[in-house]
C-alpha cells in the first residue's frame, strides 16, 4: 500500500492551483522582482529562498501578531524579509542578520522601492555574536527584545538530527 503524502503541497497539480489562486495574485510587485532578480543572479540557488506560499504565510502571520520588534536570521536576498516587513506596522523594527550583505543587496532596491527600508536594521554578521552584542547593549535584562523571531539560516543542518 502506498504511504500517504505528508503535505498537500507535494502534489504538483495542487501546488500549481494554490499558487495560482491564492499566492501569485497577492504577491507584491516588488516581491516578484526580488524573486526574479534572485533567479537571474543565483540560478538554482534561488531555491534557498522561502517558497512563495511561505512568504504569504509569513505576511498573514505578521498581520495577526502585529509585532513591533521582530528578528530574522538568514536573509539571503530578502524574500522572507520583505514578506515580513510588508505586514509589520509602519513603526515596527525588523532586525535582520546574515553573514553576507552581498545577497541582501540583490533585494535591497526592491525593498527600498516598496518603502520598507526604514523598518529594517540589517546586520552583516554570524548570528551568535550579533545577538550577543544586542544583549550586551540592553540595559534592562527583563525587557523582551523581540516579539517574534524567524530563523532560516542553515537548512541543511535542520535535517541532520545528530548536529541539532
Ligand atoms: C536559506 S537562506 C535564507 C533564505 C531567506 N530567508 C529568504 O527568504 O530568501 C540562508 C541564509 O542564512 C545565512 N546564514 C548561514 N549561516 C548563518 C549564520 N551563522 N548567521 C547568520 N546568517 C547565516 C546565509 O548567508 C543565507 O543567506
pLDDT in tens, 32-75: 999 999 999 998 776 788 888 889 899 999 999 999 999 999 99
Question: Closest Cα to residue 107, out of 86, 133, 128, 90?
Answer: 86
Q: What is the pLDDT of residue 1?
A: 39
Q: How far is the CA of 3 from the centre of ligand 1 (A)?
A: 33
The pLDDT-based confidence of 76 (bands split at 50, 70, 90) is very high
Q: What is the pLDDT of residue 139?
A: 82
**Statement: residue 158 has pLDDT above 80:** no
Q: How far is the CA of 76 from the centre of ligand 1 (A)?
A: 5
Question: What is the rounded distance in angstroms from the CA atom of residue 73 to the CA atom of residue 126?
Answer: 9
The pLDDT-based confidence of 142 (bands split at 50, 70, 90) is confident
Residue nearest to atom 14 of ligand 1 (CA): 153
Atom of ligand 1 nearest to the CA of 126: 20
If one counts every other C-beta atom within 10 angstroms of the C-beta of residue 135, the result is 10
Q: How far is the CA of 136 from the centre of ligand 1 (A)?
A: 23
Comparing 5 with 74, the larger pLDDT belongs to: 74
104 touches 82 (CB < 8 A) = no
Q: What is the pLDDT of residue 4?
A: 41
Q: How far is the CA of 40 from the centre of ligand 1 (A)?
A: 19
Residue nearest to atom 27 of ligand 1 (CA): 76
Q: What is the mean pLDDT of the chain?
A: 87
Question: What is the rounded distance in angstroms from the CA atom of residue 87 to the CA atom of residue 66?
Answer: 8
Domains detected in the chain: 10-154 (3.40.50.150)
Residue nearest to atom 1 of ligand 1 (CA): 48
DSSP annotation of 76: T
Question: Closest Cα to residue 116, out of 134, 125, 99, 104?
Answer: 104
Q: pLDDT digits over 108-130, tens only?
A: 999 999 999 999 999 999 999 99
Question: Closest Cα to residue 94, out of 124, 123, 115?
Answer: 123
Query: Cell triple for residue 5?
Result: 503524502
Comparing 8 with 107, the larger pLDDT belongs to: 107
Of 32-36, 56-60, 132-136, 137-141, give the lowest mean pLDDT range: 137-141
Q: What is the pLDDT of residue 89?
A: 94
Predicted TM-score (pTM) of the model is 0.88
Ligand 1 in contact with 32 (CB < 6 A)? Answer: no
Atom of ligand 1 nearest to the CA of 104: 27
Ligand 1 in contact with 73 (CB < 6 A)? Answer: yes
Amino acid at each position: 500500500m502506498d504511504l500517504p503524502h505528508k503535505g498537500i503541497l507535494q502534489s504538483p497539480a495542487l501546488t500549481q492551483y494554490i499558487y495560482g489562486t491564492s499566492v501569485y495574485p497577492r504577491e507584491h510587485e516588488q516581491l516578484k522582482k526580488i524573486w526574479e532578480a534572485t533567479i537571474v543572479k543565483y540560478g538554482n540557488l534561488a531555491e534557498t529562498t522561502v517558497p512563495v506560499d511561505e512568504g504569504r504565510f509569513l505576511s498573514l502571520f505578521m498581520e495577526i501578531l502585529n509585532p513591533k520588534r521582530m528578528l530574522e536570521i538568514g536573509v539571503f536576498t530578502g524574500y522572507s524579509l520583505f514578506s515580513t516587513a510588508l505586514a509589520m506596522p509602519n513603526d515596527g523594527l525588523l532586525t535582520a542578520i546574515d553573514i553576507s550583505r552581498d545577497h541582501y543587496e540583490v533585494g535591497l532596491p526592491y525593498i527600498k522601492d516598496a518603502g520598507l527600508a526604514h523598518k529594517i536594521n540589517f546586520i552583516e554578521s554570524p548570528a551568535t555574536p550579533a545577538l550577543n552584542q544586542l544583549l550586551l547593549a540592553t540595559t534592562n535584562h527583563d525587557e523582551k527584545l523581540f516579539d517574534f523571531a524567524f530563523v532560516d539560516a542553515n537548512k541543511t543542518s535542520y535535517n541532520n538530527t545528530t548536529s541539532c
